Structure 1
């Protein structure tokens, strides 16, 4: 289930419902106003995703800055509330918009933004996706931000860069061993055991969907899955042109990262790292240079 952030609504087929779906071969997520809907082809069925909070550090100098950022965010589909704290340099956003889309909207005002937390405690995770090909000066090729939005539904905000054009498959793997890149991550997480014929048609829980990378080598998609965030902590996240495995060693277009717990809203308010003494903005500049924009 995939919703491109830059989906073209003009190409959508009209349904007798109060939104316009972007049609795909399989189920598709549709973002409209304050709700994300999952649409099955030929079936008028929608499932609401509960709004969640995300917290961002943003350089704010005056009330005009607050107004600029708030106005830009309120133009995003799915945003229901924006609160800015000028003194603490923090912006809290409530809604169903992808965190990466919120960062882009803030950057459109000429300011940077750092995600400081999302969702409730123990409901968020993140994975930095890197290629294990040799002699690659900048191996980082993607980032996935994971937020559990209800008891049995988690969204995955995936951004990719520096990949060759074509179709890719996103999967969660059973193991978190990335010592040999994707080759050591094991099978797709949640694959049914052989012999269970009654569940033969049930796809693995870790099979997330397909992504198309354009000529620019970039892609941004929003995935959803009926799983809980704690179930996938410590497992690995793989994006590859290979569908189910047999990953080629040293393939620059196969990227992998271990899924780690991430801070929920208000769980990480520090502005200076106690280990390095660097501010969050110093670290931000370093991360941008590494490709972790």
Structure 2
């Protein structure tokens, strides 16, 4: 399947035109980059193409600069899910992030990144509810599993991600789903696709899917709640294990 192009914007600290050229040089090494636009005054970089947002962040960070995703896709076409462990003995609960962008009437791309897990194959599934009070155990069955006909793929099954010996895994998927259908549901990432989950397993993650900003919708530089800049918030997120 050919994935349509989409736009993502990132906040990036830049001081001069040389910074822009450095970033552009790194981004052009990626497959799927069609257009790069940088605004030095606003400290924003906009990319059009089909490259995964996580790969774009890695490319920008390889230049020695940080990058914060500020928006993806059009209005009401993006979502995010912070994936956490519910195991009581895990100190750093946040272990993954799923970014989702609807790029066509019935096509959503999923950029899933996880870290800190044991090596192996993990299954990512959307669940019927957003109740994660008891971790994955209360999230319900796989979304629309009862509708899937024999021999056809269930829309609630996103796919698998391979976690390396270093505990890191990333995957870029596409699913025949609209963003609005998933808002408020949850995602489970676990070694098993379905069945009885163990919330005390540190390698089982769960999170609620929430609407995310579209391109140019998130223009804040200071959080109205905390008074912190986006970079101060970023430092807090990195400390919590956010990707």
Q: Which residue of 2 aligns with 1:100?
A: 54
State how far apart, in whole Å, the 1-side matches of 2:163 and 2:212 are. Answer: 27
Question: Contact 1:192–1:202 at 8 Å: present in 2 too?
Answer: no
Q: Secondary structure at the match of 1:159?
A: strand
- The higher radius of gyration belongs to 1
Mapped pair 1:180 → 2:134: yes
Q: Secondary structure at the match of 1:259?
A: strand
Structure 2 stretches lacking a partner, 5+ long: none
Q: Which residue of 2 aligns with 1:159?
A: 113
Q: Which residue of 2 aligns with 1:242?
A: 192
Q: Which residue of 1 aligns with 2:125?
A: 171
Mapped pair 1:223 → 2:177: no
Q: Which residue of 1 aligns with 2:25?
A: 71
CA RMSD in angstroms comes to 1.1
Question: Contact 1:174–1:186 at 8 Å: present in 2 too?
Answer: yes
Counterpart selection for 1:288 from 235, 238, 243: 238
Q: Which residue of 1 aligns with 2:13?
A: 59
Counterpart selection for 2:81 from 127, 133, 136: 127
Per-residue deviation at 1:96?
0.2
Question: Contact 1:191–1:203 at 8 Å: present in 2 too?
Answer: no
Cα distance per residue 1:168-202 (max 9 Å; x no partner): 11100011000000000000001125xx9xx2332
State how far apart, in whole Å, the 2-side matches of 1:114 and 1:209 are. Answer: 26
1 or 2 for the larger relative contact order (CA 8 Å, sep ≥6)?
2
Per-residue deviation at 1:144?
0.5
Per-residue deviation at 1:159?
0.5
Q: Which residue of 2 aligns with 1:257?
A: 207
TM-score (norm 1): 0.81
State how far apart, in whole Å, the 2-side matches of 1:158 and 1:56 are. Answer: 18
TM-score (norm 2): 0.98
Per-residue deviation at 1:275?
1.3
Per-residue deviation at 1:166?
1.3
Matched residues, number: 243
Structure 1 stretches lacking a partner, 5+ long: 1-46
Q: Secondary structure at the match of 2:236?
A: helix
Counterpart selection for 2:217 from 234, 258, 267: 267
Question: Contact 2:162–2:170 at 8 Å: present in 1 too?
Answer: no
State how far apart, in whole Å, the 2-side matches of 1:124 and 1:245 are. Answer: 29
